[in-house]
Amino acid sequence: MTGYIDPTKETFAAFRDSDRPGPIQMLNLVKLRERAAYPDGRAATGAEAYAAYGRESGPVFTRLGGKVAWQGRFELMLIGPSEEHWDHCFIAEYPSVAAFVEMIRDPVYREAVEHRQAAVEDSRLIRLKPLPAGKTFGEIPEG
């Protein structure tokens, strides 16, 4: 099975076109390859390639107002496929949809993403609208 690594053009267009005022949060779940899959065949682990992606894309991310709002280390799948695990789990926050789109189009980021594509076996990237925390489960705050 081929994992999910990049959005389709149609999904990215829908993401870009569903702009709204205010910040967006992106839930990232990332499973790394044991060995990176660079097109030129260079040797690296998935972890090394993903670290290179972070180092090279990080300045663009922060320049555009991005920040890591939450991160955690995967421990156990309680509900879901037992064979599924994630090497990186975090929520990145951007000031707007436009800031995220600008990052994706930035030439420095576009070069750095080569490392992400080589590193990642599978991933999920879920756009969220930040809401105030609720008092209990099932309560959806206004906003």
Taking the C-alpha atoms of residue 98 and residue 80, their distance in angstroms, rounded to an integer, is: 33
Global pTM?
0.90
Percent of the chain with pLDDT over 70: 94
Higher per-residue confidence, 134 vs 91: 91
The correct answer on CATH 3.30.70.100 for the domain covering 9-128 is yes
Both tokens of 35, joined, read: 């060995």
Residue 65 is given by DSSP the state T
Q: pLDDT digit string (tens) for 12-28?
A: 999 999 989 999 999 99
Q: Say yes or no to pLDDT of 73 above 70.
A: yes
Helices first, then strands: H and E counts in the chain = 4, 4
* Residues 39-61: tens digit of each pLDDT: 999 999 999 999 999 999 999 99
DSSP 35: B
pLDDT recorded at residue 78: 96
